[in-house]
Chains A and B, each alone.
Chain A
Amino acid sequence: MTRDRGVSTVVGYVIALGITTVLISGLLIATGGAVEDRQNATSRDALTVIGQRIASNLMAADRLAETDPGTTVVEVRLPSRIAGSGYRVTVNGSASELVLESHRADATVDVSFVTSTDVADTDVQGGDLRIVLTAADELEVRGA
């Protein structure tokens, strides 16, 4: 029995180390997952709000455009990054829909709008935007 003497200390140490590693790994994975979930949810909320602001300004520009003006320019001030990531705004005029997509987070949001003036199909980087009535009597969303 003299060969097994002192083994329990080593075994106990290894088991303790193993359990600690498993617990810590679990903790880190859970925390990372929680952060990612929050990032996606926050991005979706922010994109929804930004989309609604663009839609509302687009409809305000539409009200002005209905009066047959020479110039209509509405500027929309928006953050260029949300939840640590940039985003794209795709304007789908024929479907009367804005699609906002975050570059990094897994978040895509559709926002619809109603206008009587035609809206041009465009694709712009998120940030400050300008809504302009073009010579073709279309409302176009452009980067500022």
Chain B
Amino acid sequence: MNDRGQLLLVTGFAIAVAIVALVLLLNTAIYTENLATRSIDTGAGDALAYRDTVEDDLWRVVEFENEREYAARSTLRDNVSARVDQFTMVSSMRHLEGGVSANVTNRTLHDGTWLRQNASRQMTDASGTANWTVATDADGVRAFEMNTTGGLTSTSSPADDAFNVTVRGSGGNEWRFYIYDNPALPDSELAVKNGTGTLETNVCSGLLPSVPPRVNFTAGTVEGSDCDALVFAKGTTPPYDIEITYGDRAEGTYNATVNTTNVGTFNGPGPASAPYEVPVVYSLSVDVVYQTPELEYRARIRLAPGAET
């Protein structure tokens, strides 16, 4: 009679096993709910925020050094590098606290030159030559602004006689911008020739004041207002050669930053009597690296204000 109740015992075991299986499934269900409510943020948003920080703020650091007008390019480059290092350290500190490595590495500084005539004089070079080359092989030009103050020649055939800025592109096409006085008009007059096009005279006449005009070539403005006819280097392709013709037929000041170290006859480098050249960093390329345990992001970005060419 010792074998009685075997059937119930086996059944009891079987049901016990089934209950254990159900408990394990319940465990899976609880784990799933836990997984479903866990944060899915891998830090992608933070990585993009860090990139934006570098894009928006790192250039200001470089600009600060550019504006200190160093005489030696090596000093400029050393100081810019030191500032970039400092920026990297400060900007990554907040991320390090959260176990995230945020870094700016692999920097390349692109040399440029800031050309300044900060006191009004004829638009000739430092030795007084009227027809001269301002810069050669410039891959880009920015912040090219000229404020004429007088001495404009009076002519009705600008192509032959007027002061002009010429940009010659790589294919030999020329963009020319003329500033002069037309005896038939009350104000000064502007003329432009785009690439292979013909000369257009009396452009943007509505914007001209009664005094010699202030022209921002790269922004395309005359006296601060948009001049549709003025599109810098239209019809030409970089690298550019920039020339001034009849520099003795206009007076004024100008500023230009060119992406080349090959410039005409200027005083300096560093602060000197006008016109002078200052070595600057035209643009900066860096790798933005952002690493968390779940994420690795590396992107090369180029930093330069305004027109990126």
Say yes or no: A77-B297 contact (C-beta < 8 A), given A28-B11, A28-B15, A60-B44.
no
CA distance A63 to B44 in the complex (A): 8
B44 and A31 contacting across the interface, CB-CB below 8 Å? no
Q: Indicate with 1 or 0, residue by residue over B20-41, a CB within 8 angstroms of chain A CB atoms.
A: 0110110011011001100010
A52-103 contacts to B (CB < 8 Å) = 52-53, 56-57, 60-61, 63-64, 67-77, 79, 82-84
Interface residue tally on A, bucketed by range: 35 or more
A108, chain B: closest CB distance, angstroms: 16
B31 and A74 contacting across the interface, CB-CB below 8 Å? no
B14 and A42 contacting across the interface, CB-CB below 8 Å? no
B18 and A73 contacting across the interface, CB-CB below 8 Å? no
Query: Which residues of chain B have C-beta atoms less than 8 A from A15's C-beta?
Result: none
Query: Which residues of chain A have C-beta atoms less than 8 A from B32's C-beta?
Result: 42, 45-46, 49, 82
Interface residue tally on B, bucketed by range: 20 to 34
A57 and B28 contacting across the interface, CB-CB below 8 Å? no
A20 and B296 contacting across the interface, CB-CB below 8 Å? no
Q: Indicate with 1 or 0, residue by residue over A29-55, a CB within 8 angstroms of chain B CB atoms.
A: 001101100110010011001101100
Q: Indicate with 1 or 0, residue by residue over A107-134, a CB within 8 angstroms of chain B CB atoms.
A: 0000000000000000000000000000
Say yes or no: A67-B51 contact (C-beta < 8 A), given A42-B28, A49-B35, A57-B40.
yes
CA distance A74 to B47 in the complex (A): 11
B299 and A68 contacting across the interface, CB-CB below 8 Å? yes
Say yes or no: A63-B48 contact (C-beta < 8 A), given A35-B22, A42-B32.
yes
Query: Which residues of chain B have C-beta atoms less than 8 A from A69's C-beta?
Result: 297-300
- A27 interface residue (CB < 8 Å to B): yes
B46-89 contacts to A (CB < 8 Å) = 47-48, 51
Query: Which residues of chain B have C-beta atoms less than 8 A from A84's C-beta?
Result: 24, 28
A47, chain B: closest CB distance, angstroms: 9
Query: Which residues of chain A have C-beta atoms less than 8 A from B298's C-beta?
Result: 69-72
Say yes or no: A28-B14 contact (C-beta < 8 A), given A70-B287, A79-B31.
yes
CA distance A39 to B27 in the complex (A): 11
Say yes or no: A74-B42 contact (C-beta < 8 A), given A38-B22, A49-B32.
yes
Interchain residue pairs with CB less than 8 A apart (13): A20-B7, A32-B18, A39-B21, A42-B28, A60-B44, A64-B47, A70-B298, A70-B299, A71-B297, A72-B298, A77-B294, A82-B32, A84-B24
B interface residues (Cβ-Cβ under 8 A, vs A): 7-8, 11, 14-15, 18, 21-22, 24-25, 28-29, 31-32, 35-36, 40, 42, 44-45, 47-48, 51, 287, 293-300
